[in-house]
Structure 1
């Protein structure tokens, strides 16, 4: 099989199965695992897959810059946001992550809701300035422009001094094996710090993130209360998560 044919085969397998196991592909095609790994390196360099130990997973489209992500599945994000906003109770304290889905949550909160919102995102604060009964706390630090949030040591330290009833957390990848992932190490650390300060953490994931993975792990599934997604309830990944005891809240 020619290199171009192997490439097409690998991309087709990734689309159909949601993963590539190098050992299995090598046996199927009668080639060495080294050849498969070289092909995967080439595909990863083009941004067409995310390499993991033993193979590859679909790459998340949510690793694009902030402005580009705002145009990715906006209706799906609004559906997820509507369900997430319904979890915020009057009088409660909410830790709201940054990113485009979290911004949709801020916009979905009822204007007269009496609550406290703690965030490391200036865009979230700006979206809630006209909510008269919402107390706003902005955690500061170095601004990570890719997601318009504060990250780094100062931001993590600030997060360690707050607490909340609920954390709504955004990620770029949702996968049964890779877990919850994102594309930047410092941002992943900040997300962990935020989730650790809430009684419950729910993950916000529009459909394009389900089954995908990014480079840095945020949390294992055992550390979250559930997942909010507009992905098809019949999606294989959601079935696998439900089998592991993960609560999936449908935002259809």
Structure 2
């Protein structure tokens, strides 16, 4: 089999099965695992897969820059945001992550809702300026322009001095085996710091993120209370996540 044919075969496996196991592909094709791993390295370099131990997973489309992500499944993000906004109770405190789905949550919050919103996203804070009864706390630090949020040591330290009832957290990858992932190490650390300061953490997971992975793990499944997604309740990833004992709220 030519290299181009192997490449197409690997991409077809990713699309059909949601993963590639290097040793299984090598056995099926009668080639060495080194050849498969080399092909996967090439695909990963082109942004077509995310390499993991033993093979590869589909790469998340949510790793694009902030402006590009605003055009990715906007209807799905609005559905997720509507359910997420309903979790914020009058008088409650919520830690709201940055990103395009979190921005949709900010827009979905009722304007007269009395609550406290803690965020490390200047765009989230700006979106809530016209909510007269929402108390805003903006956590400072180095601005990570890719996601329009603050991160780094100063931001993590600021997060350690707040607490909330609820954290609504965005990630780029949602995978039953790998867990919850994102594409930047410092951003992953910041997300962990935010989640640690809330009684409950719910993941904002529009359907394009399901079954995909990014390089850095944010949280394992046992650290989250639930997932909010617009995917069908019978989506294979949704069913696998439920089997882990994680609550899944589906938005229709």
Matched position secondary structure for 2:75:
helix
> Hey, what's the Cα distance between the residues in 2 that align with 1:49 and 1:32?
20
Q: Secondary structure at the match of 1:131?
A: coil
The equivalent of 1:197 in structure 2 is 197
User: How far is 1:232 from its partner?
Assistant: 2.1
Q: 1:101 aligns to what?
A: 101
Identify the residue that residue 232 of structure 1 maps to in structure 2. Answer: 232
Three-state SS of the structure 2 residue aligned to 1:143 is strand
CA distance in 2, matches of 1:247, 1:87: 13
TM-score by length of 1: 0.99
Q: Distance in 2 between matches of 1:49 and 1:19?
A: 9
Shift of 1:237: 1.1
1:234 Cα offset (Å): 1.8
Match status 1:116 vs 2:116: yes
Report the Cα distance in structure 2 between the residues aligned to 1:94 and 1:174, rounded to whole angstroms. Answer: 22
Deviates more, 1:237-246 or 1:150-159: 237-246
Q: Which residue of 2 aligns with 1:149?
A: 149
SS in structure 2 of the partner of residue 214 of structure 1? coil
Structure 2 residue runs of 5 or longer lacking an equivalent are none
2:41 is aligned to 41
> Distance between the aligned counterparts of 1:106 and 1:21, measured in 2?
40
Q: CA deviation at 1:235?
A: 1.4
1:16-95 paired onto structure 2 within 5 Å: 16-95=16-95
The 1-side partners of 2:234 and 2:16 are apart by: 15
Question: 2:140 aligned with 1:166, yes or no?
Answer: no
Q: State the match for 1:214 in structure 2.
A: 214
Q: Is the partner of 1:95 in helix, strand or coil?
A: strand
Aligned to 1:241: 241
Measure, in 2, the Cα distance between the counterparts of 1:251 and 1:150: 29
Q: Distance in 2 between matches of 1:219 and 1:5?
A: 36
Instruction: State whether structure 2 residue 2 is matched by structure 1 residue 2.
Output: yes
How many Å separate the matches in 2 of 1:117 and 1:159? Answer: 13
Residue by residue over 1:72-94, the C-alpha shift from the partner in whole angstroms, topping out at 9 and shown as x without a partner, is 00000000000000000000000
| Distance in 1 between residues matched to 2:80 and 2:224, nearest whole Å | 16
Distance in 2 separating the partners of 1:34 and 1:236: 30
Instruction: After the TM superposition, list the runs of 4 or more consecutive aligned residues in structure 1 that deviate by more than 4 angstroms.
Output: none
TM-score by length of 2: 0.99
Residue 118 of structure 1 aligns to a residue whose secondary structure is strand
Distance 1:234 1:43 in 2: 30
Deviations 1:102-136 (A, max 9, x none): 00000000000000000000000000000000000
Question: How far, CA to CA, are the matches of 1:245 and 1:175 in structure 2?
Answer: 14
